[in-house]
Structure 1
Amino acid sequence: MLRLKQIALSLALVCGAAHAADDALIKKGEYLATASDCTACHTADHGQPFAGGKAIESPVGEIIATNITPSKTAGIGNYSEQQFSAALRQGVRADGASLYPAMPYTAYATLTDEDIHALYAYFMSGVKPVDKATEQTHLPFPLNLRFSMMFWNALFLQAPGFTSDATQSASWSRGRYLVEGAAHCSTCHTPRGFLMQEKQDEAFTGAQVGPWFAPNITANRVSGIGEWSQQDLITYLKTGRLAGKAQAAGSMAEAITHSFQHLSDDDLSAIAEYIGSVDDSHAPAGGVSRFGQGKAISQTSAFRGESFSTPVSDEGARLFSGNCASCHGSSGEGTQDAFYPSLFHNSATAENNPSNLIATILFGVQRHAAEGDVYMPPFGAQPNALNHLDDQQIATLSNWILQHYGNAEVKVSAEQVAEIRHGGPSSPLVWLAQSGVAAAALAVIALLVWLMVRRKRRR
């Protein structure tokens, strides 16, 4: 009897240890999923976690994020670990179809087998299945032919795995692993080439991402964030803002909300260490940093005493006073606690690319961090809404802000505003691909006609 009790106790201890190991593995996978910011794309607004359905803007059209819950009817519940790995690191679904690189498998290729195993454990055992299918992605022909991605992958997809640099510190290597892999920073911050591939020789030097511009984050002190300390970058990644310099909006606000603020202090330090070592060899060494431009100035006197029924002498000043000054101050100085940022010494107003200023006015800002929620209302609401500004008004307001608080050399047109309002610049790749297909079809028809004529002549 005593022997049986001892056996039972041993089995209980073994099972308990195995269960604890499983829990630790799932917890590790959850952390990696957070670092990878899976929520930002695969959870729709007010939707169930990882159930997909969110439309992701891309230069070639909208791509619908899929359901990645362990549902066996609508998600990835039938995926083996090998199939899961192939999807994450090679961009190949379980049915053999290719994924589009809006899912950053080019970055996730860096993930180690060990981390893939932990992610698989989390998504299969730590995520609630949602049996709801998502809409299909419908890109224009011929980009809707997914097999074409096989050729793209052959050109631009690196081999899976990660090799640390023995000449660097363990923290630096960890930072590189996170930045180039799970956090996929390069996916947004690196310019794209003709075939939408990342330009590796211009890594992290800034790129257009839909309506927003992901700025230069290299260590260059003028074009990048080289004047930031490592602690500055850690503060920004934890809170989404750095007083007198920058604040996160758009997809970066989502990354702060769902990912970066939840990472460990050690990992944030590692990311900051690695980013601080990445230089921009193409940028000029001298010049004025985008974090030090502009100054406080008030132009309200330009229209005081005028009635709204008479022409306004400075339309930009009137738009600023009516829509911006109540939060950002009559002189653009923001609030003392920097909750409402100043409009000078601000990256959004000093970039050579005005997309972030335009997009902020159009779409507003929404960010959730431990220190509290940040909200700025959108002024690109539907016509007849209380806070609606049309394209010309936003262009006028943007130019006034740039002239007085930021990069006065940058000019904004109503056409630029309309482009940002509708999702940002589109890629010529669709038109060129369609033109190429049409040309190929005409060539085939011409060849067939020539063969028919030749055959008739022989007869």
Structure 2
Amino acid sequence: MTASTLRFLVGATAPLAWALAVATAQAAAPAPQQLARGEYLAKIGGCASCHTEPKHGAPFAGGRAVPTPFGAIYSTNITADPAHGIGRYSFEDFEKALREGTAPGGRHLYPAMPYTAYAKASEADLRDLYSYLLHGVAPVAQEPPDNHLSFPFNQRWALKLWKLMFLPRGEYVARRDKDAEWNRGAYLVQSFGHCGACHTPRGVGFQERGYDERSKHYLTGQVNDLWFASDLTGDPGSGLGRVSAQGIASFLATGHGDGMVAFGTMAVKVEETLQYLSEDDLRAVAGYLKSLPARKGAGNYQAQAETDPPPARGNYTGDVESVGAAVYRGFCVQCHQPDGRGVPKVFPRLAGNPSVLDEDPSAVIRLVIEGGRSPATSKGPPPQAMPGFVGTLTDVQMAQVLSYTRQSWGNDARPVSTNDVSKIRRQLHR
């Protein structure tokens, strides 16, 4: 082969090599539509909210503490950084982490990362999410803090046994007896929404006691970090039985719906995640939740006509005004009104409010102790704050006023004891 022939061949193949390199680069870079779908899934899945340290942390760089009964578990860096994040993950690595809770190298992940829910995600959705995290999120060279868990919960090898016993397998399978909207809602609630992580009771192995509507325990309520995540089934007392599908959709998008207002960790969830659901997905999720039958039956409510005069006392008070009624009149009536009906889209109604009727009053106790605020959303009303009363009311007064609200205006739930309040205060160190 002559030198001129060699130069001709090299010159001829150079454009081909260049074209192959360009084609490879274009194949590696996802289309804008795929990035948009991945970004949407990251928002509604709460990836940024969980994987971003709330005090000035870089997005998706990890470091947020997830409280557990065994100690804090810190979220990992899921940016494209190759040393500290997922920059070296293949899609197969990513899929295994989300479906099986196993990182490269066989490292077992704690189920504070809800891979029990992501196990049901479709491969197409996981590919879109993977593409967005690798190509749509800036890499950050940051290592989250180490977990500090008590023995034996610091032994990751034991998670392999846990997953063998409790980890569901396989993508979500659409039910043929339901329409497309219902199946979309079920898919979102069970996978990217991972609603069961907070709202489903835990078993002896701290596993969710059910992963879909076939379980009698699914979404019936659970205490998390002293907040009671409410019953999402059709119970007419403390569940969603009296809440309209439109009210549920509005609550998810704005934190306000049918007189309810999100507070505590739910306000954060609405603010950081749920408000980004599309209108179609809001309807689908609301429709699915409305289809769930009542399971427990906690608390009761007998609706009163809007024209009925407001009762002066709770259902179970005598002729003399109770302590609870006096506290309510002095500290609560301005916002929640004498009839407990609140102010629409500003202050929640207490009459018939499922959170007020919850079987476990932890959430309302904590709210009275330390206060809270409604979420700030793009479509909802301005956020409103409720002050904490830890320095204003005694434990006895807080118990009495909570009992009053749980037993007035048609409400019928068990009273709150002074010990209930004192226990929460001790745990809050307040």
- Aligned equivalents of 1:391 and 1:64: distance in 2? 34
Deviations 1:93-127 (A, max 9, x none): 22422111111100000011111111111111111
Q: Is the 8 A contact 1:42 1:49 kept in 2?
A: yes
Residue of 364, 376, 389 corresponding to 1:368: 376
Indicate yes or no: 2:264 matched with 1:250.
yes
In the TM superposition, residue 242 of structure 1 has moved relative to its aligned partner by: 1.7
Cα displacement (A) at 1:321:
4.5
- Cα pair distance change 1:222/1:390, threshold 3 Å: closer
Which of 395, 401, 406 is equivalent to 2:405?
A: 401
Structure 1 residue 344 corresponds to structure 2 residue 351: yes
1:320 aligns with 2:328: yes
> In structure 2, do the counterparts of structure 1 residues 95 and 395 end up closer, same or farther at CA, with 3 Å as the change threshold?
farther
* Residue equivalent to 2:285: 271
Instruction: Classify 1:342/1:226 alpha carbon distance in 2 versus 1 (closer, same or farther; 3 Å).
Output: closer
Q: Report the secondary structure of 1:177's partner residue.
A: helix
Number of aligned residue pairs: give it.
Answer: 393
Kept after mapping to 1: 8 A contact 2:238/2:354: no
Structure 2 residue 138 is matched with structure 1 residue 124: no
Comparing 149-158 with 395-404, greater Cα deviation is found at 395-404
Q: Return the letter of the residue paired with 2:271.
A: T
Contact 1:67 1:75 in 2 (8 A): yes
After superposition, the C-alpha distances for 1:195-234 in whole angstroms (9 at most, x for unaligned) are 1112222112222222111222123445531333322221
Residue 185 (structure 2) pairs with residue 155 (structure 1):
no
Aligned residue runs from structure 1 range 418-457, under 5 A: 418-421=422-425
Deviations 1:158-200 (A, max 9, x none): 1132222223212222111111111011222211111111222
Q: Which amino acid aligns with 1:185?
A: C
**TM-fit CA distance, 1:261:** 1.8
- Most deviating of 123-132 and 316-325: 316-325
Identity %: 35
Distance in 1 (CA, whole Å) between partners of 2:324 and 2:231 is 29
Match of 2:77 in 1: 67
Indicate how the Cα distance of structure 1 residues 157 and 389 shifts in structure 2: closer, same or farther if over 3 A, else same: same
Q: Which runs of 5+ in 2 are unaligned?
A: 1-15, 314-320
Q: What is the aligned partner in structure 2 of residue 140 from structure 1?
A: 150
How far apart are 1:19 and its partner, in Å? 9.4
C-alpha distance in structure 2 between counterparts of 1:147 and 1:400, whole Å: 49
Aligned residues of 2:255 and 2:380 also touching (Cα < 8 A):
no
- Where does residue 234 of structure 1 map in the other structure? 249
TM-score (norm 1): 0.76
Letter in 2 for 1:398: L
Distance in 2, matches of 1:128 and 1:264, equals 25
* Equivalent residues in 2 for 1:278-297, closer than 5 Å: 278-280=292-294, 282-283=295-296, 289-290=300-301, 292=303, 296-297=310-311
Q: Is the contact between residue 239 and residue 256 of structure 1 (CA under 8 Å) also seen in structure 2?
A: yes
More off after superposition, 231-240 vs 408-417: 408-417
User: The residue matched to 2:223 in structure 1 has which SS?
Assistant: strand
In 2, distance between residues paired with 1:76 and 1:419? 42
Q: 1:41 aligns with which of 50, 54, 63?
A: 50
Q: Any residues of structure 2 matched to 1:76-225 within 5 Å, and which?
A: 76-200=86-210, 201=215, 202-222=217-237, 224-225=239-240
Q: Aligned equivalents of 2:304 and 2:117: distance in 1?
A: 34
TM-score normalised by length of structure 2: 0.81
Taking the aligned partners of 1:242 and 1:291, their CA distance within structure 2 comes to 19
Q: Residue type matched to 1:270 in 2?
A: A
Output the amino acid matched with 1:243: D
How far is the alpha carbon of 1:21 from its aligned partner? 5.3
**SS in structure 2 of the partner of residue 234 of structure 1:** helix
> Which residue of the partner structure matches residue 13 of structure 2?
none
Q: CA deviation at 1:319?
A: 4.0
| CA shift for structure 1 position 153 | 0.3
Name the one with the larger helix percent. 1
Cα RMSD between the aligned structures?
A: 3.2
Pair 227,414 (structure 1): closer, same or farther in 2 beyond 3 Å: closer
Contact 1:296 1:344 in 2 (8 A): no
Secondary structure in 2 aligned to 1:351? coil
Distance 1:129-1:165 versus aligned 2 partners, 3 A rule: same
Structure 2 distance, partners of 1:409, 1:275, is 23
Q: What amino acid does structure 1 have at the position aligned with 2:130?
A: Y
Q: Which residue of 2 aligns with 1:355?
A: 362
Contact 1:354–1:410 under 8 Å retained in 2? no
Task: Supply the distance in 2 between the matched residues of 1:250 and 1:411 (Cα, whole angstroms).
Answer: 22
TM-superposed deviation, 1:77: 2.3
Structure 2 CA distance for partners of 1:82 and 1:420, relative to 1, 3 Å = farther
2:41 alignment partner in structure 1? 32
Structure 2 residue identity aligned to 1:227: R
